[in-house]
Amino acid sequence: MTKRFWIVFSLLIAVGMVFIGPAAAADQIIKIATQSPLSGDNSAVGVDIKRGAELALEQMSAPLAKMGFKVELAPFDDQANPDAGVANAKRIVSDPAILAVVGHYNSGVQIPSSEVYHTSGLANVSPANTNPKVTTRGYLEVNRIVGRDDVQGVVGADFAAGKKVKSVFVVHDKTAYGQGIAEFFKKRAEEKAMKVLGFEGTEEKANFDSLLSPILAGNPDLVYFGGMYGQAAVLFKQAREKGYMGMFLSDDGFDSTDAVKIGGQTLLDGAGTFYSTVSGPATIYPGTAKFITDFKAKYNASPQPFAAQGYDSMGISLKAIEAAAKAGGNKLPTREAVSKAIRALQDYAGITGKFTFNSIGDPTVAKYFVIQVTSPDPAKWNDNPVVETLDIAPPK
Amino acid sequence: MKRFLKSINIPELIRPLGQLVFFSLGTTIVLSAIVLVFALILDRTVVGQTLFERLNVSLFTYTLINLPQVAIDGLTIGFVYAAIALGYTMVYGVLEFINFAHSEIFAVGAFVGVEILIALDRFGILAGASLVMAYVYLILAIVGGMLAAGGLAVAVERVAYRPLRHASRLVPLISAIGVSFLLQDAIRLVESLTTGQFNRIFPTFGNFDRRVILGKMALGTTNITLGVSIKSIIVIVSAVLMLVALNYLVNATKVGKAIRAVAQDHPTASLMGIDVNRIISLTFLVGGMLGGAAGVLYALKFTRIDAFVGFFPGLKAFTAAVLGGIGNMTGALLGGIVLGMLETYAGSYMGVFTMGAAGTEYKDIFAFSILILVLIFRPQGLMGANVAQKA
C-alpha cells in the first residue's frame, strides 16, 4: 500500500510542479519578511515594527512594480522568543521568493535567527537590535539602522561633559552589558578631562551603604551607573537619602517605569537623573511628520517606538532589491546580490536619518538620545523629555 | 499588678541590652582601631599620596571622618543579620541541623509585609496617612510578615522535617535545601500569577526616608554629612526589641525552660512531661517570626525585593550564626554584629586602601576569610557552643 501511495504522491507533486512552475515565472513575486513579536509582552512594539514595514512597502514598491515584480509582505511572529524566531527563520529561508528580512525587536532573538539567514545568504535589516554582537560577527547579510550598546557609554560621557561635569564616580553591574558601557564611559570621560574618582563593580542589589562611603567622600558632580534599573534606582535612592545632591546618569537599562517606582521623588531632587538610549519617540526625528500622519490614517493609532525604524528598514530592503535587479538586467536578483546591494547603499535618505552601512553592517552614523526623568509618577514615564540628540559613528 | 511586676525577671531584660551595647561598642572600637592603624601606616606611602591628590586630604583624616557613618551603617545591617541568625541558631539548638529554608521564610515575611503595604497604598490609605497612622501601618505590615513567616516555618517543619527526625543528619539538611528552592519558585509563581511582576517595591509613605542629621564635617574640599535615616533607626530599635524579647522568652519563662530542656536532651525532656513536638514547633514559630519581621525591615531599608531576596541575607546570617558559635543565642547576636560591621568597614575602606584595585565588590571575600580563620582556630565559634544555654 505504502509503495503505491508514494507513487501516486510523487506523481501528484510532479503534476503540481508543472502547473506552478510557469505561473511563478510569469508573475515574478518578491516577498520581504518581517520578524517581530506580534503576540505577548513586547507585541505593542513588535506589531508596529510590522506596520511600519507594511506602510513602507505600500508607499515605495512602485519602482519594482514597474520592472514587473509583485512585492508582498510576509509577516512572521517571533514571540520575542529565540526558539520561535529560529523556527520562523528556517521557514523563511526555505521560501525562495523571500529576498530580505526586516526584523527582530530583541537582540536575543535576532542573533540566533540571523545565523539561519547567514547560512542561505538572506539579507536582514534590523530596525531595533543594539547588542554589539549583532554586527560584530561580521556577516555580510546582517545590517542594522540603530546604535550600539557600546557607544552609549561615550554618549553619556559627552553629555556629562556638556553639563560641565568635572568629577564622576562610575559604578557598574559586572555584566557584559553594564561593565562594557561603564568602561566606554570611563575612557571617554577621561578623554574629556573629567576626574574619575572611582570605578566599582557590584552585584549588590540592596545594601549600597559601604559603596556609598567613598562616593560621598569624593562628592563627585555625577554618579554613572552601567546596568539595569533594578540596581541603579536603588543605588540612586540610597545616595540621595545620604545627602548626595549631584547628578545621576545611566543607560537604556534604566528605561523602565519600575525605576521611578523605586526611586520616586529622589530621582528628581538635586541635579536630577538622566539616561541614554538608542531610540527616541517617533516625533523626535525630523522627517517623520508625513509618516506619523500616514500611520495614524491607516492604523488609527500613534506609532510605537521603532515603528519608524521598521519603515526605514523596509525602505532600505526595497531600494537594495531594486538596485540589484537593475544591475542584473531587470531579472529577479539572487539573495547574495541583495545582501551586497544593501551594503553598497550610499546615504539612503530614510525618515530617521541617512544610512550608509560600514563593512560589518553598522550605520556609519547612528542617533543616540539622552532623556531626563521629570515625573515621580510611573504613568508619566513615557512623557520624559529628550534633552539631547547625538550622531555618533560606531566603534572600530 | 504588683505580683505581675514581681514576676518580671529584670536582670534578664537588662542583660541582653548590656550584651548588645557591649558587642556593638567592642566591635566598633576594634575595627576602627584596625583601620586607623592601617591608615597611619599607608598614609606615608603612595596610597596616601594618591588620595591626597584626589581629595586633598590625608588618608588618616579621611578614615577618621568617615568612621562614625561607617559604624552606624555597619550596625544597622548587623542587627538585621543578627535577627535572621537567631532563627538558624534556635533551630540548630533544638534539632542540630541547619534550616536552609530559613532564608525563604525571611523572603516570605518580606513579601507579605510589602504586599500588605502595596494593597493599602492601592486603596489610597497610605498617601494621606498621618505620621502616627504611618507607623501603625508599618507595624501592621511587620506583624503580618511575622505571622505568615512563623506559620510557614511551623508548616515546613511539620511537612518536611518531622517525618525525617530519626533519619541520618544529612537527610533533613537535603530536605531543607529542597524546601528552599521550592519556596523561592512558589513565591515567584504566586507573584507572576497575581501581580505579574518580578520586583516588588516598598511604597513610599510616612517619614521613613527622612534623615536625622547629626553633624557636618569638613573633608578636604567637601563636607561629609553624618546622619542616620529614620528607617535605619526603626530597623535597629525593632531588632533590639525582638532580641530582648526572645532572650526573655528563652531564659526567663517556663516555655523557655522547656525549649532549653528539649535542646539538651529530647528523651529526658519528654520524660519530664514536656511535649517535645510542640516545643519544636514553637521554636520554628519563634524563629520564623523573627525571620519574617527581619524580612519586612529589610524591605523597608532597601526598598526593592524579589523572590530571591532571601538568598544573600540568609547566607550571611548563617555565616554570622557559625561565626558566633552555632546553637548559641548570644553568639548569633555577636556574629551578626561582627559580620555586618566587618563587611561595611571592608567595603568602605578597601577601595581607598588598595587605590581602587580591590574595591567594595570584594567586601564579601574579607568577611568570609575571617569566617574561615575563625573556623580554623576556633571551630566552635567566637562564643563557643554553650551547651548549658543553647536553645
Interval A315-328: pLDDT, tens: 999 999 999 999 98
* CB contact (8 A) between residue A218 and residue B54: yes
Give A255-293 pLDDT, tens digit per residue: 877 888 888 889 999 899 999 988 777 777 888 889 999
* CB contact (8 A) between residue B347 and residue A262: no
Distance CA A316, CA A127 (A): 11
Region A122-127 average pLDDT: 95
> From the candidates A173, A202, A210, which should be mutated to test the interface with B, based on the most B CB atoms within 10 A?
A210
pLDDT at A254: 87
Is A96 at the interface with chain B, CB within 8 A? Answer: no
* CB contact (8 A) between residue B344 and residue A174: no
B150 touches B285 (CB < 8 A): yes
Region A165-173 average pLDDT: 92
Q: What's the mean per-residue pLDDT of chain A?
A: 87
* CB contact (8 A) between residue B229 and residue A241: yes
Q: Quick one: pLDDT band at residue A125, thresholds 50, 70, 90? A: very high
**CB-closest option in A198, A258, A265 to B351:** A198
Minimal-distance CA residue of chain B relative to A196: B54
Range in A32-46, A116-130, A300-314 with the lowest mean pLDDT? A32-46
Which residues contact residue A286 at a Cβ distance below 8 angstroms, ignoring those fewer than 6 apart?
none
Region B19-31 average pLDDT: 92
Give B296-333 pLDDT, tens digit per residue: 999 999 988 988 899 989 999 999 999 988 888 888 98
The pLDDT of residue A363 is above 70: yes
Q: What's the mean per-residue pLDDT of chain B?
A: 88
E-strand ranges in chain B read: 200-201, 211-219, 222-229, 304-305
The pLDDT of residue A302 is above 70: yes
Give me the domains of chain B, ranges plus CATH numbers: 2-377 (1.10.3470)
Distance CA B241, CA B365 (A): 31
**Cell 519603515 belongs to which residue?**
A311
Print burial letters for A310-333: b (CB count within 10 Å at least 16), e (below 16): bbbbbbbbbbbbbbbbeeeeeebb
Q: Tell me how close the Cα of A215 comes to any Cα of chain B, in angstroms.
A: 10
Give me the domains of chain A, ranges plus CATH numbers: 2-146+284-364 (3.40.50.2300), 150-277+368-392 (3.40.50.2300)
- ipTM field: 0.85
A265 neighbourhood in chain B, CB within 8 Å: 204
* CB contact (8 A) between residue B73 and residue A201: no
B201 neighbourhood in chain A, CB within 8 Å: 258, 261-262
Region B29-46 average pLDDT: 89
Distance CA A240, CA B91 (A): 39
The pLDDT of residue A16 is above 60: no
pLDDT at B1: 64
The number of C-beta contacts closer than 8 angstroms across A and B is 106
**CB-closest option in A197, A206, A211 to B54:** A197
Pick the most confident of A259-263, B53-57, B77-81, B90-94.
Answer: B77-81
- The helix (H) or strand (E) run that includes residue A142 is strand A142-144
Select the more confidently predicted residue: A73 or B220: A73
pTM for the complete prediction? 0.79
Q: Tell me how close the Cα of A342 comes to any Cα of chain B, in angstroms.
A: 41
**CB-closest option in B201, B229, B359 to A262:** B201
Percent of chain B with pLDDT over 90: 46
Region B202-213 average pLDDT: 86
The pLDDT of residue B5 is above 90: no
* CB contact (8 A) between residue A213 and residue B73: yes
Select the more confidently predicted residue: B326 or A343: A343
* CB contact (8 A) between residue B346 and residue A210: yes
Q: Closest Cα partner for B334 from B348, B352, B349, B322?
A: B322
Range in A8-22, A99-113, A286-300 with the lowest mean pLDDT? A8-22
CB interface of A with B, residues 230-289, below 8 Å: 230, 233-234, 237, 241-243, 258, 261-262, 264-266
A260, burial (CB in 10 Å: exposed 0-12, middle 13-18, buried 19+): buried
